[in-house]
Amino acid sequence: MDYMRQALSLARQALGTTSPNPAVGAVIVKNGSVVGAGHTQPPGSAHAEVMALRQAGEAARDATMYVTLEPCAHQGRTPPCTAAIIAAGVSEVHMAMIDPNPIVSGRGKAQLEAAGIKTYLGEGEEEASEIVESYVKYITTGLPFVTAKYAMSLDGKIATRTGDSKWITGAEARQYVQRLRSVSDAILVGVNTVLADDPRLTVRDAEDRARPRQPLRVIVDSKGRTPPLARMFAEPGKTIVVTGSKADAAAIKGLAGVGGEVLQVASKRGLIDLAELLSVLGQRQINSVLVEGGGEVMGYLFDHRLVDKVYAFIAPVIVGGREAVTAVAGRGVERMSQAPRLSPVQVERLGDDVLISGYPEHPGD
């Protein structure tokens, strides 16, 4: 039986609930049977290893643990997991990857070995790395992991020339987007998307009910044009409107009046400095940002190499029109040899739509 596979499955269950901590899964095995299993709980609560040890009880002695990330060896909001593992008498620990957190980074493995526990490293590492990719970027750079998501027609349009965009993709693709939102700390859009679509930007279940946990909503709006009557202000969760220094004072007061936080960030040539915004979000312990448009925001992010991952949903429709909105605007590249390409590329069928995802790699990187 692939016990690390079980641990990875548990880690995925924790995605979206553990930030700024990583989503981790752990399984404890003795005499060929699983005696304990668990995943990371919300911040301030037990880590995956402790959850599994609690379930195993005395059966953890001389057992083998499979865990998707190196156990922590430091005192944070909870005691070190290595101490709990050693005290429980576990004899072997299989970990998928080393924790890149500078205050861990091999220390957990070393502590276990010093206590006479055999350790094994690397099983399931590729999948484990993908599960904690947002955490890894945040803990090593202080910046959130940026995912660009957009749905477009076969000819690259996200709306018609009149601005109509509902719906380009089908129900399966839209449900997939709900999953992407559910594992993100924040959702970011430009003000033009708010003005054109009046989106709710919430995580909703199959019955269209808002889920208890909602990502932070971030609107990039240099001039403060976001309407106070926008639907998202009546939705559960928090909304931040990011404006420039020249935003209208009355508009700012109106947004604050409906519960929106107004955050002023430096602008360049009338555009919000998104690199600076990402730095501010990182300071707020935002690990991951899902960017849902529009074209100008996407263009800025790609132009400045700020995108870490792409989810492009492609529908089998052709919109046409010179004035129809494109998925990615901005300056763009001058030559095809300068264009970033996704690698590795994953392709998935969602009803009649196709999802292409991957990590943009820029020539020369």
Could you give the residue numbers annotated as active site? 49
Sign, CA torsion 52/58/61/64: negative
CB neighbours (10 Å) of residue 169?
23
Q: Decide: residue 77, CB within 10 A, 0-12 exposed, 13-18 middle, 19+ buried.
A: exposed
